[in-house]
Every structure is written in C-alpha cells, then in structure tokens.
C-alpha cells in the first residue's frame, strides 16, 4: 500500500443525486466498480450493494442513514474485558478479512467476487482498509471489518467475528484510529441492533450529506500509521 492514497482515473459515469433515492434508499442500478466510480459514489453520499442476492450492483442512499459518532461509542463492562483478549491490527490481513465477510455460511451474504476484487484494488491504491482482531493466545484472526477512508470519512462496509466480541473490539480499534487521525464521520450505512448496542444511531439523509461535506473537507493524518490495541 502507498503511504498516500493514489487518486485513480476519473469515472466515465455520472451518478444520480442521493435525493433521487426511492423509499428503500435505492438510487440506481448499473455503472461499474472501478476505483474512480467507487470514490465518486462515497464522495457523493452513495455506496454499492447488490439489490438482492448477487444481482447487479445497486447504488444506495438510505434515509435515515446509520452513523456512529466517534465520541458516543458505548463500551460495556464485558466489552472492556474483551479488549484484553485481542490484539488489534490494521491492514495486515485485508484479503482475509474480506473473505471472512464474504463467507457463504453467513446469512444475507452479498460480497461477490467482483466486489471483492474492486475493494482489493482500492486497498492497493490506499483507500480501503481492514481493522482486525487477533486472538492473543492463539495468534488467529477472529474478527475484523473493512471500509473506505477518504479524508475525514470512514465508510464501513462489512464486519465479521469468530469469537465473542471480536468484531466489536475491531470497531473499538477503528474508532480509536479515526480519533487519532482526526476523522469526523463513521458511516455504517444502516443501523443494526448489533451496532446500536455500541452507540450507533440514525440521522436524516440531509444531515448526513452535510456531515459528509464537512468530513471530505477535513484534513487528517494517514490512516494506519499507528495501531490501537
């Protein structure tokens, strides 16, 4: 990975405005997953995901939008205890994290080989990152997440765990890293019960787009230069 993200060739596509989304948050279907298209989407407030199963990729802007305020992360007593069981690393196993997130054993799996390849390329260019939880005793990767960092934005894509609280520990590591670099927006797309227990919330699309504009204009330190644990 480069020390500074490499800006790819601009996309040939024009993506619709987020406000054109239907009641489910779907803005449109089609385009491609080239790095320039993906980065334009995130900078515009969109993210890609198949409409259903492994159908063609749709572009989404849900209203409300799920976010986790970095100063509102909720650490339960049990999660604090779990922090000592795992070592958090950054970008040491990006491909493996994606494979785990794409496991066919998971309900609602949506990460296709095309999506995997697209984010692997973003990782190579320095935009996509993994945050991993490793079992200190066994040395095994047991949880993690991946997403895209653009200036003060981190757009979370997917997470997994194979041991209790492992994905939550990875999320704690992510929040600490985002605070270190000076990021201001952690996008989680849709609010889930799992993330709600950690302090995530929903905000209107209009508020999200305002926060996004602020995040994209925020100068930050390089993601991953130090490792939280």
Assign 108 a pLDDT band (cuts: 50, 70, 90).
Answer: low
Q: What whole-number percentage of the chain has pLDDT above 90?
A: 90
For 5-33, what is each residue's pLDDT tens digit?
999 999 999 999 999 999 999 999 999 99
Q: Could you tell me where in the chain the CATH 3.40.630.70 domains are found?
A: 65-216
CATH for 65-216 (3.40.630.70, 3.40.190.10, 3.40.50.720, 3.40.50.920): 3.40.630.70
Mean pLDDT for all residues in the chain: 95
For the segment 178-189, the average pLDDT, to the nearest whole number, is: 98
Burial of 31: CB neighbours in 10 Å, binned 0-12, 13-18, 19+: buried
C-alpha–C-alpha distance, residues 171 and 145, integer Å: 7
CB 28 within 8 A of CB 16: yes
Assign 228 a pLDDT band (cuts: 50, 70, 90).
Answer: very low
- The strand ranges marked E within the chain are 26-29, 47-50, 57-60, 65-67, 86-90, 128-135, 141-150, 153-161, 185-189, 201-203
Cα first-last separation, the chain: 22
For 46-88, what is each residue's pLDDT tens digit?
999 999 866 789 999 999 999 999 999 999 999 999 999 999 9
pLDDT at 106 over 80: no
Assign 110 a pLDDT band (cuts: 50, 70, 90).
Answer: confident
What is this structure's pTM? Answer: 0.95
pLDDT at 136 over 70: yes
């Amino acid at each position: 990975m480069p020390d500074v993200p490499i800006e790819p060739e601009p996309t040939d596509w024009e993506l619709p405005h987020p406000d054109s989304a239907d009641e489910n948050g779907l803005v449109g279907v089609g385009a491609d997953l080239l790095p320039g298209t993906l980065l334009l989407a995130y900078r515009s407030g969109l993210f890609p995901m198949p409409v259903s199963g492994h159908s063609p990729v749709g572009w989404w802007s849900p209203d409300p939008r799920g976010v986790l305020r970095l100063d509102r992360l909720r650490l339960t007593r049990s999660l604090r205890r779990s922090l000592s069981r795992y070592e958090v690393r950054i970008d040491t196993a990006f491909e493996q994290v994606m494979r785990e997130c794409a496991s066919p054993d998971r309900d609602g799996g949506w990460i296709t080989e095309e999506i995997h390849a697209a984010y692997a390329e973003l990782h190579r260019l320095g935009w996509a990152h993994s945050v991993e939880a490793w079992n200190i005793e066994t040395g095994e990767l047991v949880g993690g997440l991946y997403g895209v960092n653009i200036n003060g934005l981190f757009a979370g894509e997917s997470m997994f765990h194979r041991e209790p609280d492992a994905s939550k520990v990875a999320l704690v590591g992510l929040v600490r890293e985002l605070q270190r670099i000076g990021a201001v927006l952690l996008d989680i797309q849709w609010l889930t019960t799992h993330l709600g227990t950690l302090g995530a919330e929903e905000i209107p699309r209009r508020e999200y787009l305002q926060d996004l504009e602020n995040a994209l204009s925020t100068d930050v330190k390089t993601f991953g230069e130090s490792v939280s644990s």
